[in-house]
Amino acid sequence: SSELTQDPAVSVALGQTVRITCQGDSLRSFYVSWYQQKPGQAPILVFFGKNNRPSGIPDRFSGSSSGNTASLTITGAQAEDEADYYCNSRDNNGNHWLFGGGTKLTVL
Amino acid sequence: QVQLQESGPGLVKPSETLYLSCAVSGGSISTYYWTWIRQPPGKGLEWIGYIYYSGSTNYNPSLRSRVTISVDTSKNQFSLRLSSVTAADTAVYYCARASVTIADRIWYSYMDVWGKGTTVTVSS
């Protein structure tokens, strides 16, 4: 079982706001990084740390964290945001890195 | 702009050893954490491990007994060795550049540059 838990699938209407979550005990001590992966492509970093968005990533992507849950929010989802999203952080011992199981986002 | 390119055999026989390399171009391999990630067909991402440019390593506990990651700073590349492979090791293998930093006394890491990935099939 994964120590970082994500909902397998989430859907959002075009232009609406969606939150993708990542839960794990380690998240009380470590921030996460978020990756977007489209079919047949390598993942790309979309948000990381407390409040960091890589250059070139639209500002509709934002992140937050509270307790054992980290969230990636897309404000005004676009059709091109349809993808799999993965969180990454540390395991419960804090010694090794770990991905969540991934969330498939569908934009309706 | 830093780019990463994986290379290695696309087909490996069961019980043999998989070797992959990742060439780093557009920047130095010095500093950063150089990471391997894999993705079995239709499944999620799995962190394999990393090597710091100085040579220290950290591996996924589930793979530790079979994995070795090494770095060759003279060639600006790093490598993955996975022994005793089985069909379960069939996956797309990615290399990535990672950083580790701290904010508000909370550590975090992130992988900001990825290779395109290379498909490895384990089959006789």
Number of Cβ within 10 Å of residue B2's Cβ equals 13
Residue pair B53/B30 in contact by the 8 Å Cβ criterion:
yes
Q: Is A24 on the interface with B (CB under 8 A)?
A: no
Which band of pLDDT confidence, cut at 50, 70 and 90, is reported for residue A2? low
CB A35 within 8 A of CB B39: no
Q: What is the pLDDT of residues A10-67, one digit of tens each?
A: 999 999 999 999 999 999 999 999 999 999 999 999 999 999 999 999 999 999 999 9
Q: In this complex, is the C-beta atom of A66 within 8 Å of any C-beta atom belonging to chain B? A: no
CB contact under 8 A, B58 and A95: yes
Distance from the Cα of A21 to chain B's closest Cα (Å) equals 16
**CA B111 – CA B101 distance, rounded (Å):** 12
pLDDT tens profile B53-98: 889 999 999 999 999 999 999 999 999 999 999 999 999 999 999 9
Amino acid at B52: Y
> What CA–CA distance (Å, rounded) separates B2 from B56?
22
Tell me the nearest-neighbour CA distance from B13 into chain A, angstroms: 25
**CB–CB of B109 and A88 under 8 A?**
yes
